[in-house]
Each structure stands twice: as structure tokens, then as C-alpha cells.
Structure 1
Amino acid sequence: MTPAEELAEFTAKLYRRGWMEGTAGNISLRLPDGAALITASGVSKGELTAADTVRVSIADSRPVEPGRRQPSAETTIHTALYRRFAGCQAVVHAHPPYATAVAAIATARGENSVTFSGLEIIKGLRGGDPASVTVPVFPNHAEVPRIAEEVEARVAMRTPPVFLIGAHGATSWGPSLRVARDRMECLETLCRLRLLIDRAAS
């Protein structure tokens, strides 16, 4: 399977889960030549094919082959993560409903992070003690490169490999698309549990 075919397959699966409705969301893979392959902008994720992908430079986020499809609007976020982490080989940006809701609530409260405590699935984001994990929340700037700049400046090895964007969605990354997807699943579950627990406590 080619990288483009792998992107198309994963995108279709996330679309069917309701995480990439319409043309929302995007995923990418690092290539061995200083470039990344990312899903194209404005394409329904339920119909995306291997031809609907774009090679972009990790250094400057620009298409390697100008004139073809335009890369996703969130390309700069993906390339920021590739530059920040040598072990980052894949990035998933999606709009899972519970994660998006938690991000919106946090932003409305002026919070720049969300802490999850005492839940076993925290281990899915990082191994070891599941006592707590703090997930960054970034403002949803209209200019996406501003989000990317803040991501590149703020994320670090000690932070979990996921973050939220206020009223927008979530991003995860890892050494493969499968790991990045698994981490997104863990984050969405944590956000769902948080909302359920808060509701029960109110």
C-alpha cells in the first residue's frame, strides 16, 4: 500500500466514525525526503482517494508540486509537529464531538489546558501511572499559522501527544497512523467521560 492509499483508507474510517464530516479534518504522513503527504483541502473525507493528497515541504509547509490540489488548511500545524518531534511520523487532526465540546468549554472559561485524573485510559496517552494527564488547549485563531506557531512553541516531550483547539477539534500524533489514531480515540474517550462525570456531579 502506498502512503497515499494509506491516507485515503484511514481518512475513510475516521469519516465513518463521524470525526471528519464533510470536508473537515485531515491526516498526514512524514515522507523520507523532508516532505509530508497530507490530505487535500475541500475534499469530502467520505470520498477522498489516493489522488486527493498533496506533498508539502516540512520546512515551509508549501506544496512540493505547485499546481496540483491545495493542501489542507491545517498543514502548518502538521509540519510544526514534524519539525518539533523527530519521532513524529503521522498526524491526525479531527473533530470528534466530545473532544470538540470539551475544547469549547475550556476556551469559554479562559483555560489553556484540561486535566484528566484517575481514569485508566490515561495510559493510552502515556504509559505508567494513570493518576493524571494535562492536555493543552490552543485558541482557534482564524489564521491557522498562528495556531501552528503556538503549538511549536508550547508542546514538548513532557506533554502528551495530543492537544485540543478551542471550539475546533483535536490533534494527535505518533510513530504511525495507527498510533496517532489510537491516541485520538483515547482523548475522545477521556473527554466523553469528563462530560459524563461532570453531568452526574451537577
Structure 2
Amino acid sequence: MTEARLRETLCELAASLFARGLTHGSTGNISARTADGGLLVSPTGTSFGRLDPARLARFDAAGRHIGGDRPTKEMPLHRAFYDTREGAGAVVHLHSCHSVALSALPVADPGDFLPPLTPYAVMQLGRVRLLPYFRPGDPAMGDAVRELDGRHAAVMLANHGPVVAGRSVEAACDAIEELEATARLALMLHGLPARGLTPAQVAELLAARGDAG
């Protein structure tokens, strides 16, 4: 994919997420790896509904900001995923309502935030790690992701929002949508005797995924 087309794709997908209420206002940020090893990143303080392909922040392969507007303040979070997840081609962070709501409830296992209600979240996300609350923009979020040593493709920032890395911007957006849909299901079933996947079924899906995270 050419850089021009990648810029357009990144903005088109961000606009779709915004239009469907998966993030709001100027919340959320998105980035994608370019063919030369650099990054395209959504600027700080911008709405997913109004991203301009020409104004995306551009970084070279050495991590230098070489063009476009000032990037999101969550750059340490994005860099941590690229540095620890081999093959990561994109990172998406949303403030999606249902996943944030679920993160505000008690969680039995922070290493496995999402209940295994359907196979699709397991297939696309693996196990989602719940991280503690951090102030938005705190570089400690990136440190917390680095400590996971690439074992998780997705994390949930408590009381803040999900972050997902994927091989492409399309894959990352699909996966974070699946995370939000599963969180919505979990809230719909909260307090009910729901029947989820068995540990054996989850293990089979994780094995097929070929990724411990």
C-alpha cells in the first residue's frame, strides 16, 4: 500500500469508528506503520471524524517527527506496542463506552479482562490485559505495556479505554470493534447465569491463533 493510500485508509477507518459512536469528541488516537519503517499518527486534540490525511504526524524509522501536526500525547503507548509486538502494523486506542464501563466493574482476572462469551474476541484479541488507571498522556502507560513483553495484542486501560495492536490498520480496527462488542455483551449479561466458552474451547482458539496473548 502506498503512503498516500495508507493515509486515506487510516482517516476513513477513524471516521467510520467515530460515526458509529465508538469514540467521541477529540478522544482516541490511531497510528500505522509505513513501508519505510516510519509511522503515521493522528494529531493531538483532533476528532476521529475530521482527520486530514495531509496533516497526520509523520515519523521516520528512527522515531523523529519529520512532518505533519504534533502527534497524540499517547505516543509512548503506541511506541511500546510497536517495540514489543513483532509484526505490529497499526495501533488503535478508543474511549469506547461499553469497554470503559466494564473496566469500572470488579474483574476476576486482570490478565483476562474480557469474558469468553464468543469465539471471535479470543480469535482476534487473545487474552486482553486490564492495566490500572493512568493519567491520560502519562508515559507510565507505555512502561506498563513494555512490561508485558509483547504477550498481549490488546490491553484495557482502566476507566479510560482499550488499546489494540494489529498487523494492519484494518485488522487493528476490526479487533478493537470486537473488544467493544464483547464488552457490550458482558454488560448485557451482567448478573445473569450466562454460559461462556469452556477453558478447553478457549485454549483451542488460542492455540489456533498461535499467540499466547
Give TM-score, length-normalised by structure 2.
0.78
1:104–1:168 Cα contact (<8 Å) kept: no
SS of equivalent residue, structure 2 residue 31? strand
Cα offset, 1:162, TM superposition: 1.4
Match in the other structure for 1:42? 45
After superposition, residues 10-49 of structure 1 pair within 5 angstroms as 10-49=13-52
Instruction: Tell me how far 1:201 sits from its aligned partner.
Output: 4.7
Q: CA shift at 1:178, angstroms?
A: 1.3
Could you say which residue in structure 1 is the equivalent of 2:203? Answer: none
Secondary structure of 1:140 counterpart: coil
Q: What RMSD in Å do the two structures reach over aligned CA positions?
A: 2.4
CA distance in 2, matches of 1:58, 1:154: 23
Q: What amino acid is the match of 2:17? A: L
Deviating beyond 6 angstroms after TM superposition, the runs of 4 or more aligned structure 1 residues are none
1: CA distance between counterparts of 2:42 and 2:20?
18
- The answer for unaligned runs of 5 or more in structure 2 is 195-213
CA gap of 1:196–1:81, structure 2 versus 1, over 3 A, is: same
Deviations 1:64-104 (A, max 9, x none): 34xx5210111111111111122100111111111111122
In the alignment, structure 1 residue 174 sits paired with structure 2 residue 166: yes
Alignment partner, residue 80 of structure 1: 80
Matches within 5 A, 1:36-115: 36-56=39-59, 63-65=65-67, 68-106=68-106, 112-113=110-111, 114-115=113-114
Greater share of residues in strand: 1
Mark the CA change 1:185 to 1:91 in structure 2 (over 3 Å): closer, same or farther.
same
Q: Which amino acid aligns with 1:165?
A: L
Tell me how far apart the structure 2 counterparts of residues 40 and 184 of structure 1 sit (CA, whole Å): 20
Residues in 2 aligned to 1:117 and 1:103: alpha-carbon distance in whole angstroms: 15
What percentage of residue pairs aligned between the two structures are identical? 28
Which whole-Å CA distance do the structure 2 matches of 1:63 and 1:199 have between them?
48
Report which stretch shifted further, 111-120 or 47-56.
Answer: 111-120
Structure 1 window deviating more from structure 2 (165-174 vs 27-36): it is 27-36
Q: CA deviation at 1:124?
A: 3.4
8 Å Cα contact 1:28/1:78 also seen in 2? yes
In 1: Cα distance, 2:89 partner to 2:121 partner: 22
1:36 Cα deviation (Å)?
0.8
In structure 2, C-alpha distance between the alignment counterparts of 1:74 and 1:17, rounded to whole Å: 23
**Structure 1 residue identity aligned to 2:139:** P
Residue correspondences, number: 189
State TM-score, norm by structure 1.
0.82
